[in-house]
Amino acid sequence: MQHVKQALKAAFKKADKPLLDRCITEQRSPGLPDIRRIQHFPARRVIRASRAFNRLHHWQYDTLHPCFPLFLGLSLHIDVLTANASPFPLMGLVHTENTINQLLPLNAEDMEITCHFSDVRLHPRGIAIDVMLTVTQQDIVRQQITSTYLYRGASGVLKQTPESDGAYVSGPEKTFTATSVMNFDAAAGRRYARISGDYNPIHLYRWCARLFGFKHAIAHGTHVLARCISTLSDATATGQHAFSVTNAFRYPVLLPSEMRLNSNGEESIEGSEVSEVSFELRDKQAVRRKQVVLCGRIGAPLQHIPANPRN
């Protein structure tokens, strides 16, 4: 029932288009909405949900998957984005980036997740919105995840500026030393929807994705990133207690499709036991400029987690 209510909220939440267009035209931020949601997840729910998540993403460690709180906190994301004080729509926002900052392992026990807007800023294509999840266990902040969404402005109000913004900035083309094949079948979106409650039509069937302008159904971004991290887990910093994962979504993963996950382990970061690993997910069937659908890196943790997420 909760999933149905949230789907209806998402469908009927409208943007304050006059305000947002005016902000884009005048090149000013609409301001940071003061919206915060907190939810406590008892251990039994964390255990049940993590089992389903682990099966789908081939995660075989005792600690929780780094993407699990993003999956578990989906309802909080929806509540924040659809709040009356938010000028943004939910349908039509483009999920562009994630930054996962983990300082301590996550365990299958009681968990509290706090969600709020952490930044709103102008973007060459509209307005970028950061939504942050802060994860605590035993009253200790263990992880923060920042998800960046793009509200696309109408072409008539956009300024002609360089199209470069985001947490992940690709440098010179890298030479990757490892490659894995990842297959996403036609039912991948439906399987993830069943465990996450994200029944956005663009992920389910080709015919309903076409109603929203897509030629094929597309995979959920969190599902794609989680599978990448699971595949890289044995050779990357996710084997450590503390690490960060930063990624950018370039293009959607069409369903069905075969992807190549390329990665390379770089030298250890000075003063840290963590080795930085760069990775990309590539669709060899796409035209060359659209082949890289996701790129990112795994490395040392970022040091900006507050002591009390409620302050």
In Å, how far from its chain's centre is CA 209?
20
Q: Give per-residue pLDDT as tens, 3-40.
A: 556 666 666 667 778 888 888 888 888 888 899 999 99
* Confidence band for 45, pLDDT divided at 50, 70 and 90: very high
pTM value > 0.85: yes
**Mean per-residue pLDDT for 100-122?**
95
**Angstrom distance (rounded) from CA 238 to CA 226:** 12
- How far apart CA 278 and CA 298 sit, in angstroms, is 6
Summarize pLDDT for 228-249 with one digit per residue, the tens. 999 988 655 555 678 899 999 9
What percent of the chain clears pLDDT 90, i.e. is strictly above it? 55
- Residue 173 predicted with pLDDT over 90: no
CA dist 20 and 149 (Å) reads 14
Domains and CATH numbers, the chain: 2-299 (3.10.129.10)
240: CB partners within 8 A, 6+ apart: 273, 274
Farthest CA pair distance, the chain: 52
Pair 245, 290: CB distance under 8 Å: no
Q: Which amino acid is at 159?
A: K
- Tell whether the model's pLDDT for residue 131 goes beyond 50: yes
